A and B are shown apart, each in its own frame.
Chain A
Amino acid sequence: MNNILELFSYSFMTKALVVGLLISMCASLIGVSIVLKRNSMIGDGLSHVGFGAFAIATIFGFAPLEFVLPVVIVVSFLILKLNDNSKVHGDSAIALISASSLAIGTFAISVTKGVNTDINNFLFGSILSINDADVLISIILGITVILLYIIFYNKIFAITFDEKFAKSIGINTNLYNIIFACLCSVTVVLGMRLMGSLLISSLIIFPALSSMQVFKSFKSVVISSVIIGIISFTLGLISSFYLEAPTGSTIVIINLIIFIIFKLISYIKVRLK
């Protein structure tokens, strides 16, 4: 226990813990609706767009967050629009957008000589890249998402369960979808620095998916997802430090283990019935 406390005497570890915990909670909350609405690929698409935008911001010397965030939000609206339009398949559109952004980002970084960037940091994240501004933004974002989620919880349930019915009783589903896309974009962009653009979407998807194996009411799935998000992040951060492994991948592996355990529990439960 003392060892662990000592760990957080490093200021970068404390920062990573604060930012990571808040982002994990936001990601797990948002993830429940995203998984249930079969939009799992959105997080993945947005993080690739984030990668492309970060690369361009670095090359042209734009302030990273101020440039990347608007770009990702605009793209999330675009994906939302494509999903509404039944003529274009949402998933192929996302595949198209994410591959293109990844290509543009990689291309831009390698063509521009003299730019001192480590592509690995973009792709797989680094806890050393968290600065004070990130901490502040994460705290604001975290509190905003959690408050919004509690206030609009019942409406979020209604829309996630059956959007057509929700619309018919006068819930402004378009507005909620736009707010959701914004929150998802902010979570992805902030989480990217920590988790890397290739792995951030797992923070959104895994907790919800694992919870749904065992829990069968909406409230229990939401609560369980947040708990899984918190546990997997904390465990991942601490063990990555001792194992000298990348934080992002350690967290994803822990999430994978939790998923397998929950899957087993659900299998046993069915067998025992």
Chain B
Amino acid sequence: MSLIKLENLSLGYDGIPVINNINLEIEENDFVCIVGPNGSGKSTLIKGIIGLIKPIKGKVVYETLKQNFIGYMPQETTVDKNFPASVFEIVLSGTLNNSKLFYTEKERQVALDNLKILGIENLKDKNFPDLSGGQRQKVLLARSLCATTKLLILDEPSNNLDKTSKNELYKIITKLNKEKNITIIMITHDLDHDNLIGNKILSLREKDIFYGTTEEFVRRIHHE
């Protein structure tokens, strides 16, 4: 079943499109990797899907999903590494999409559950500035999970992580997709050809947009 449909969608800034006329459907349980060179509009596209920017043309249709219930994880640079906040304060803030002002036992439980899913319940009372890069990304992922049970949208989650932390993070994301049936859309820079994750790829290159299964993408690359 389809979760999100992009119809003739054009996105950009100040009326100048970066993404032109894109049409595609993302199905439930898909794991879509978005790849492409810098400036090809990867981040713009997901900002459009989430509703951070308005389309210039066309629209985004959410079939079985409310826009506020997407778990979005912005690029790590948007968050100040030294921000004084406890892990629990950060993770809890992911539950604020239910338009409540104060947290109840229910929100605390959701936050605790997500800490457990990511295996970081021991970090609950630690403070953000004292964490390692990999731990910080897991905390931000736990926060995104609090906002959703259906769709995670991740903007280069593995940026600036070492190889071990990167693989660990990818393993967790794959597990969320397989075991919790959460649809994943992920922008990634490192397209490791021996180790592709996800079942679909959206490749953005100026006039050449490819969207299909990972196998098709690999075949296509070998032909080039």
CB distance from B14 to the nearest CB of A (A): 9
Shortest distance in angstroms between B78's beta carbon and chain A's nearest beta carbon? 5
B102 in contact with A154 (CB, 8 Å): yes
Near A by CB (< 8 A), chain B positions 65-101 give: 67-68, 70, 72-74, 78-80, 83-86, 89-90, 92-94, 96-97, 99, 101
Chain A residue at smallest Cβ distance from B78: A164
Q: Across the interface, name the chain B residue whose C-beta is closest to A216.
A: B127
Q: Is B37 an interface residue (CB 8 A)?
A: no
> What 0/1 readout, one digit per residue, does chain A (148-169) give for beta carbons within 8 Å of chain B?
0001101101100111111111
B63 close to A (CB within 8 Å): no
B51 close to A (CB within 8 Å): yes
* A267 contacts partner chain B, Cβ-Cβ < 8 Å: no
Also in contact, A218 and B89, with CB within 8 A (given A162-B78, A212-B84): yes
Shortest CB distance A266–B (Å): 11
A55→B151 CA distance, assembly (Å): 56
Given the known inter-chain contacts A157-B85, A168-B72, please indicate yes or no for A216 contacting B129, CB distance below 8 A.
yes
Could you tell me if B130 and A216 are in contact, using CB atoms closer than 8 angstroms?
yes
Size of the chain B interface, CB-CB below 8 angstroms: 34
A127 at the interface (CB under 8 A from B): no
Q: B residues within 8 A CB of A215? A: 84
Contacts of A154 in B (CB 8 A): 92-93, 96, 101-103
Q: A164–B102 contact, CB under 8 A?
A: no
Distance in angstroms between the alpha carbons of A155 and B99 in the assembled complex: 10
Measured between beta carbons, the chain A residues less than 8 angstroms from B74 are: 162, 164-165, 168
B21: shortest Cβ distance to chain A, in Å?
24
Contact A171 B96 (CB under 8 A): yes
> In the complex, what distance in Å separates the CA atom of A219 from the CA atom of B89?
9
Taken residue by residue from 201 to 238, chain A's Cβ proximity to chain B (1 for < 8 Å, 0 otherwise) reads as 00000000000100111111100000000000000000
Set of chain A residues within 8 Å of B85, measured between Cβ atoms: 157, 161, 216-218
Residue of B nearest to A168 (CB): B72
Question: A3: shortest Cβ distance to chain B, in Å?
Answer: 39
* Interfacial chain A residues near B96, Cβ < 8 Å: 154-155, 158, 166, 169, 171
Interface size on A, residues (CB 8 A): 26
Q: How far is the CA of A217 from the CA of B128 in the complex (A)?
A: 8
| Residue in contact with A157 in the complex, picked from B73, B80, B93, CB distance below 8 Å | B93
Task: Tell me, yes or no, whether B197 is within 8 Å of chain A by CB.
Answer: no
| Smallest CB gap from A224: residue in B | B84
Interface residues of B in 116-132 (CB under 8 A from A): 127-130
Interface residues of B in 34-70 (CB under 8 A from A): 50-52, 67-68, 70
The answer on a CB contact under 8 Å between A168 and B52 is yes
B80 (CB) vs chain A CBs: closest residue: A36
Cβ 8 A contact of A161, one of B72, B83, B101, B144: B83
**Separation of A158 and B51 alpha carbons in the complex (Å):** 18
Q: Is there a chain B Cβ closer than 8 Å to A114's Cβ?
A: no
For residue A61, CB closer than 8 A to chain B, the reply is no
Interchain CA distance A19-B91 in the complex, whole Å: 38
Using A152-B101, A154-B96, A162-B79 as known contacts, say yes or no to A169 and B127 having CB atoms under 8 A apart.
Answer: no
Q: In the bound complex, what is the Cα–Cα distance between A90 and B79 (angstroms)?
A: 19
Bound complex: CA of A220 vs CA of B86, how far in Å? 10
- Residue on A with the closest CB to B129? A216
In the complex, the answer to whether B70 meets A168 with C-beta atoms within 8 Å is yes
The reply to whether the CB of B200 lies closer than 8 angstroms to some CB of chain A is no
A36-B84, A154-B102, A155-B101 provided; 12 other pairs, C-beta below 8 A? A161-B85, A161-B93, A165-B72, A165-B78, A168-B72, A169-B96, A170-B97, A215-B84, A216-B86, A217-B84, A217-B86, A219-B86
Closest 7 CB pairs of A and B: A170-B68, A169-B97, A216-B127, A168-B72, A217-B86, A158-B93, A164-B74
Q: Which residues of A contact B (CB under 8 A)?
A: 36, 151-152, 154-155, 157-158, 161-171, 212, 215-221
- What are 10 A-B pairs at a CB distance below 8 A? A154-B103, A157-B93, A162-B74, A165-B93, A165-B94, A165-B143, A168-B74, A169-B72, A169-B147, A217-B127
